[in-house]
Amino acid sequence: MTMLDEKKSPRELRNDLLAQKLIKNLNMRHYDAYYCPTAKEALRKALKIIPKGCSISWGGSMSIRDMGLTEALKNGDYQVFDRDDVTTQEDKARIYRKAFECDFYLAGVNAISEDGIIVNIDSNGNRVAAITFGPEHVLLVIGMNKVCQDIDAAVKRARSTAAPINMARFDHNQTPCKTDGICHNCKSPDSICNYISIMRMSHPAKRHIVLLVGEDLGY
C-alpha cells in the first residue's frame, strides 16, 4: 500500500477497487466508462466529454443536479433544452421529444449491478426512451451508492429504494409508498413505476458514456 492509499478512507479504497471492476465490465458491454473519486472531479470530466456548442437535454435526474452539471451547462456555451424552464405540460412534452434530436442526453440511473447491467424505472417513459434510442450520445452519471451485487438486487433497489424516495418529491402524487416508504407493487394511477428498463449493453457501441462517481449522488 502506498502513502497515498494510506490517506484514503476504507470507503474510498473500496470504491476505487469496485470502480475498476465496473469499468472493465462496462467496457466489455461496449460502454465508454470513467471513474472520478469526487463529484467535483466528475463535473470537470463531464465538461471535457461534452463539446461546447452541442445540444443537450436531460430528465429529472438528481445526480446531475447534485454535482452541479446542469447549472454549469446552462451557464456555458451550449444549446440546452431543460424541462424545468417551462411550465405547461405541452411545453414539457415538446422538450421530451426534442431530446431525441440532441447531441447529448444526460441522466442518472436507479441501479447498476457489479457486472455492468443498468436498471432504470420511469414514470412517463421519456427518460428510458431517450437513453435507449435517439440522442447521438448518452452520458450516465452513477454514484457508487447505486451499485448492487447483481441484477436482482439492482431491480429491488430501483423499486424499493429509489422509487419511494423519488415519489416523496412529488406533492401531487399519492401512492402507497408515499404513505409508508415501502414498495407495494401498486397499480395506482399516480405510480411512477410504469416502465422498467434493463440495459445489457450499449448499442451502437460507445453511444453510452458512464461516469462513475465515488460519492453518493441522487437516490
Phi and psi at residue 75, to the nearest 5°: -95, 5
pTM of this prediction? 0.94
Please list, in sequence order, all residues whose beta carbon lies within 8 angstroms of the beta carbon of residue 66, skipping any fewer than 6 positions away: 39, 217, 218
How sure is the predictor about 5, in pLDDT bands with cuts at 50, 70 and 90? low
Partners of 36 in the β-ladder: 213
What pLDDT was estimated at residue 4?
A: 52
What pLDDT was estimated at residue 1?
A: 47
Q: Report d(CA 49, CA 57) in Å as an integer.
A: 15
Q: Report d(CA 79, CA 58) in Å as an integer.
A: 12
**Regarding predicted confidence, which is higher, 75 or 5?**
75
- Render pLDDT for 36-55 as a digit per residue (tens, 0 to 9): 999 999 999 999 999 999 99
Does the pLDDT of residue 71 top 50, yes or no? yes
DSSP-derived secondary structure for 49-69: HS-TT-EEEE-S-HHHHHTTH
Does the pLDDT of residue 30 top 60, yes or no? yes
Q: What single-letter DSSP state applies at residue 103?
A: S
Sketch out the chain's domains with CATH numbers.
3-213 (3.40.50.10420)
Give mean pLDDT, residues 92-116: 97
Top-ranked range on mean pLDDT: pick from 2-16, 84-98, 131-145: 131-145
How sure is the predictor about 6, in pLDDT bands with cuts at 50, 70 and 90? low
Q: What single-letter DSSP state applies at residue 126?
A: H
